[in-house]
Amino acid sequence: MNILFVGDIFGSAGRRIVHEHLGHVRATHNVELTVVNSENAAGGFGVTPQIAEEIFDWGADVQTTGNHVWDKKELVDYLGSAAPDSHERPRRLLRPANFSPGLPGFGVYEGVTASGVDYAVVNLQGRVFMGNTEDPFRAADALLSRIRAKVILVDFHAEATSEKVAMGWYLDGRVTAVLGTHTHVPTADERILPNGTAFQTDVGMSGPYDSIIGVEKDLVLHRFLTGMPGRFEAAKGNPKMCGALVECDPMTGRASRIQRIMLGE
């Protein structure tokens, strides 16, 4: 069984390149489960319900997010509209599971693929150099004790490579894949850990690479050079769709192969 995971869509350039490639990559690799991190799809800050719906239209089964999930106010109602046992689109757009209790939305989704394979997608956020959340490691333990599916994909949205590598080892043999997002820079360390978990520290953003992690270069440089605040704008140049393809045994959830993806225009 093949799973496609697409890294953080950033702005309109990111949406365009993902729209261009998602269909043929899914078809060529006979992808049965498509998960897309869309947390910066709306101009580089958050995602709107309308954009989320578009990404579902392109073939995403589940969308994940991260620290920018509340940037667009409309999304709060969209997430809040989903019942726990629903399989409708708002229920398939996740926010990190280890946010404070009682917030709108869910951090895990359990579904069934077209060929009848049970799967789960888990969204967690790191704590190192990031906002306050609950312990992602113990949140993973709690979620995994309740999930019955064997095929489990974890999007670990975190800044520090150390915390992400730690999560990979912590969940090795307990999930199909631990794939990192948030830094917008892909790492070249994709591998299958000894107990059968596919891992990559960060799959990279799907967005404009002639930029500083998605934002217009000059605006970010100005801030570094002067320390003055300024408006950030999503860049457009050199868009790439980044992500990972994971092959696993649908019966055991064990991963057998991971391939890094970076597709340009």
Catalytic sites, residue numbers: 68
* CB atoms near residue 228 (< 10 Å): 7
Member of 182, 202, 203, 243 binding Fe ion (CB under 5 A): 182
- In the complex, the smallest distance separating the C-beta of residue 67 from Fe ion, rounded to whole angstroms, is 5
When the beta carbons of 66 and 207 are compared against Fe ion, the nearer one is 66
Question: Of 14, 44, 46, 66, which one interacts with Fe ion (CB under 5 A)?
Answer: 66
Helix locations, 29-146, DSSP H: 49-57, 74-80, 136-146
Stretch of 69-77, 166-174, 182-190, 228-236 lying at the interface with Fe ion (CB under 5 A) = 182-190
Instruction: Report the distance separating Cα 245 and Cα 129, nearest Å.
Output: 28
Retrieve residue 1's tokens.
């069984």
* Nearer to Fe ion among residue 91 and residue 95 (C-beta): 95
Q: Which one of the spans 28-36, 62-70, 193-201, 254-262 is the region binding Fe ion (CB under 5 A)? A: 62-70
CB of 145 vs Fe ion, minimal distance in Å: 27
Quick one: which of 129, 135, 179, 137 has its CA closest to 159? 129
Instruction: Pick between residue 150 and residue 182 the one whose CB is nearest to Fe ion.
Output: 182
- Interface size with Fe ion, residues (CB under 5 A): 3
User: What's the CA gap between 87 and 248, in Å, rounded?
Assistant: 24
- Is 91 an interacting residue with respect to Fe ion (CB under 5 A)? no
**Euclidean distance between CA atoms 217 and 226, whole angstroms:** 14
67 scored as a contact of Fe ion (CB under 5 A): yes
239, 208 in Cβ contact below 8 A? yes
From 67-75, 78-86, 119-127, 133-141, span contacting Fe ion (CB under 5 A): 67-75
Helix axes 136-146, 161-171, angle to 10 degrees: 30
Minimal distance in Å, beta carbon 69 to Fe ion?
A: 9
| Piece of the chain touching Fe ion by CB under 5 A; list 58-66, 120-128, 190-198, 203-211 | 58-66
Closest listed residue to residue 38, CA positions, set 27, 61, 21, 135: 61
Q: Name the minimum Å distance from CB 37 to Fe ion.
A: 8
Q: Which two tokens stand for residue 16?
A: 């365009």
49-57 and 11-28 helices, crossing angle to 10° = 20
Of 66 and 204, which has the nearer Cβ to Fe ion? 66
Nearer to Fe ion (CB atom), residue 3 or residue 205: 205
184 binds Fe ion (CB under 5 A): no
User: 223: Cβ–Cβ under 8 A, 6 or more apart, which residues?
Assistant: 229, 230
Residues that bind Fe ion (CB under 5 A): 66-67, 182
